[in-house]
Amino acid sequence: MEIRIVPISEGEKKAKYTDESQLGFGRIFTDYMLLVEWKAGQGWVDARIKKYEPFQIDPAALVLHYAQEIFEGLKAYKWEDGTIALFRPEMNARRFNHSAERLCMPEIPEELFVKGIEQLVALESAWVPGSEGTSLYIRPAMIAVEPHVGIKPSDHYYFYVILSPVGAYYAAGFNPVKIMVEDKYVRATPGGTGEAKTGGNYASSLKAGLEAKKKGYDQVLWLDGVHKRYIEEVGSMNMFFAYGDTIVTAPLEGSILRGITRDSVITIAKSLGLKVEERKIDVNELMQDLKSGKVTEAFGSGTAAVVTPVGTLCYADETVQVGNGGVGKHTQKLYDTLTGIQTGKIEDKFGWITKV
Ligand code: COI
């Protein structure tokens, strides 16, 4: 499908950030966005790259009442030689369509998803920051815009992509965060929407997150919704634990997100000679293993979070330090290798890079 560009004048453009060290996460947006509509009986129509501006949607739009919404997150990097590179965008397209299927939304052709992002990022290349730890965060989303207060799948959708130059997701940067294992609320249950990247999963996690913040923790680590016993994920990242040279992570059984960074970390870990186990992790055993020193490192993985070391874990009011509370050697190596590939400093042996 042809994507038309609706140009904006120089006068309409925003003032660009001046200090890359002050970007933070997700507050600054570029001048243009991609918008494609889907209409029942017509399919995908009117793909255009246009001015980033507020939508006018009907107060009765289905998304506003029943949360028929999905989204993705990926990044573009500026290399030292000026190349702009995307990391595994086709994986985001596939996961987006997986979420769409669960939320009864139309699937988008993978090519339209990837080409649309490539064209938008190419047009906005001046917004891609280049200093260490920065990138252009890409947020594709789809919302149901049909005005209707009866519950049903919409007959009209907006698929759109916005861009945000970012630094580290956590204010601490690449430094250990403090995580609280959540034992009161649950995020997802088998057969629910846990595996889909849909706003409702995040809205329902806010309360637990706020309560954890009040106690001094950065985020919560969810347990399975049936037994409240097995480790699932942190809202913005999948979790890994190192037992010496073995890295353990929860299996993908339907209630946790199929992290693309998770998959990349597993592949890199294996290529570095580490053993990787995807298996159920009982929180009680985990706490024992942390206390006895069997667990030497803990870290999370995600597009926004990259590889984030975890220095402290709290469960049932008991707090334990992970290893020596600092950044573990495997965590550091995995972070360096992943970000090295993303920024063109390490050869991409896996075919993960798409140049814009
Ligand atoms: C991402 O890592 O891209 C995410 O979507 C997590 C988040 C910021 C909610």
37 pLDDT exceeds 90?
yes
| Cβ atoms within 10 Å, residue 351 | 7
* Residue whose CB lies within 8 A of the most ligand 1 atoms, among 263, 301, 303, for a mutation test: 303
Instruction: Categorize the per-residue pLDDT at 235 as very low, low, confident or very high, splitting at 50, 70 and 90.
Output: confident
Region of residue 216 (phi > 0: left; psi between -120 and 50: alpha; otherwise: beta): left
Structural contact between residues 148 and 60, judged by C-beta atoms closer than 8 angstroms: yes
DSSP state of 80: T
Q: For residue 73, give the ligand 1 atom closest to its CA.
A: 3
- CATH code given to domain 4-166: 3.30.470.10
Higher confidence at residue 141 or residue 1? 141
Q: Kind and range of the H or E element at 283?
A: helix 283-291
Same fold, 4-166 and 177-343: no
- Work out the average pLDDT over 113-137: 97
199 CA to middle of ligand 1, Å? Answer: 11
Distance 259 CA to ligand 1 centre (A): 10
Residue at 179: amino acid letter: I
- Cα–ligand 1 centroid distance for 293 (angstroms): 31
Q: How confident is the model at residue 173 (pLDDT cuts 50, 70, 90)?
A: confident
- Binned at pLDDT 50, 70 and 90, residue 196 comes out as very high
Three-state DSSP class for residue 39: strand
Q: What percent of the chain has pLDDT over 70?
A: 100
pTM, two decimal places: 0.96
Return the sign of the alpha-carbon dihedral for residues 259, 304, 34, 121.
negative
Task: Dump pLDDT digits (tens) for 76-90.
Answer: 999 999 999 999 999
CA 165 to centroid of ligand 1, rounded, Å: 14
Distance in angstroms (rounded) separating the CA atoms of residues 31 and 52? 5
Q: What is the mean pLDDT of residues 211-216?
A: 96
CATH fold of 177-343: D-amino Acid Aminotransferase; Chain A, domain 2 (3.20.10)
**Boundaries of every domain in the chain:** 4-166, 177-343
**Residue 336: how many other CB atoms lie within 10 Å:** 14
Ligand 1 neighbours (beta carbon < 6 A): 73, 236, 302-304
Mean pLDDT of 348-355: 98
User: Could you tell me the distance, in angstroms and rounded to a whole number, from the CA of residue 27 to the centre of ligand 1?
Assistant: 14
